[in-house]
Amino acid sequence: MSEPVIVLSAWDLGFAALLVLLLAVLSMLLRLRLSARLVIAAVRTAVQLVLLGMVLEYLFRYRDGWLVLLVSLLMLAVAGYEVWARQHRPFRGWWGYGVGALSMFVSAFVVTFYVLRVVIGPSPWYEVQYAIPLLGMILGNTMTGVALSLDRLTQSAWQQRAIIETRLALGQDWRHALSDIVRDSVRGGLTPIINGMAAAGVVSIPGMMTGQVLAGNAPFTAAKYQIMIMFTITAATGYATVLACWAGARRLFDERQRLRLERLRPPG
pLDDT in tens, 104-156: 999 999 999 999 999 999 888 988 889 998 999 999 999 999 999 999 999 99
149/185 same-domain check: yes
pLDDT tens figures, 74-85: 999 999 999 999
**Any domain includes 157:** yes
Q: Are residues 188 and 259 part of one domain?
A: yes
In this structure, the answer to whether residues 30 and 90 fall within a common structural domain is no
Q: How far apart are CA 66 and CA 268, in angstroms?
A: 38
Question: Residue 5 belongs to what domain range?
Answer: 1-62
Q: Are 140 and 215 within one domain?
A: yes
Total number of domains constituting the chain:
2
**Residue pLDDT tens, the chain, 268 long:** 456 677 888 899 999 999 999 999 999 999 888 899 999 999 999 998 898 888 888 888 888 888 899 999 999 999 999 999 989 999 999 999 999 999 999 999 999 999 999 999 988 898 888 999 899 999 999 999 999 999 999 999 999 999 999 999 998 999 999 999 999 999 999 999 998 888 887 776 677 777 777 777 788 888 888 889 889 999 999 999 999 999 999 999 988 889 999 989 888 6
Angle, helix 65-85 to helix 128-159, in steps of 10 degrees: 20
41 belongs to a structural domain? yes
Same domain (yes/no): 6, 103 = no
Q: Are both 27 and 129 inside the same structural domain? A: no
> Quick one: 8 and 125 in the same domain?
no
The candidate with the shortest Cα–Cα distance to 91, out of 253, 268, 262, is 262
Are 199 and 175 contained in the same domain? yes
User: For a pLDDT cut of 90, what percent of the chain falls above it?
Assistant: 63
Q: Are 45 and 165 contained in the same domain? A: no
Read off the pTM.
0.85
**Residue 68 shares a structural domain with residue 57:** no
Q: Is residue 182 part of a domain?
A: yes
Q: Are residues 112 and 175 in the same domain?
A: yes
**Are 226 and 244 part of one and the same domain?**
yes
First-residue to last-residue Cα distance in the chain: 56
> Which DSSP state fits 116?
I
Is residue 16, in this structure, part of any structural domain at all?
A: yes
Within-domain flag for 268: no
Q: Which pairs count as long-range contacts for 8-14, CB under 8 Å and 24+ apart, including other chains?
A: 13/46
Q: Are 146 and 85 in contact (CB under 8 A)?
A: no
